[in-house]
Amino acid sequence: MILDSGQFEELMRRTQATGLKCMDCGTAFTFHEGGETAIDSGVHNSVKCPACGAIFETEVQFNGIGLKRDGKIEWFET
C-alpha cells in the first residue's frame, strides 16, 4: 500500500491518538502519551503507563496497536 503525504499524516495522527488501556491498572492513555512517558523515563520502542509505570512492547499496524508483555497481547483499534 502506497500512501500520499496527506494519507500518511492522517495515519500518524490516528496512530498517535489511539486510546490504550493499561493491562495492569486499567488506566486509559493515548499511544502518544504512553510513548512520551516511556521516553521521558529513558525507555525507547515501548509505551509506559503514566499511572502505574508498567512498560509494554507495542505492535503497530494500519488498523490497530497491540500492547504486549509476558506473552500476552491486547489489541486496540486505530
The number of C-alpha atoms within 13 Å of 71 and in the hemisphere containing its C-beta is 0
Domains held by the chain: number: 1
- Summarised one tens digit per residue, pLDDT across range 32-56 is 999 999 999 999 999 999 999 999 9
Q: What is the pTM of this model?
A: 0.88
pLDDT of 5 over the 80 cut: no
Query: What whole-number percentage of the chain has pLDDT above 70?
Result: 97
For 63-78, the pLDDT digits (tens) are: 899 999 999 999 999 8
72 lies in which domain range? 5-77
Name the nearest CA neighbour of 14 among 62, 51, 47, 49. Answer: 62
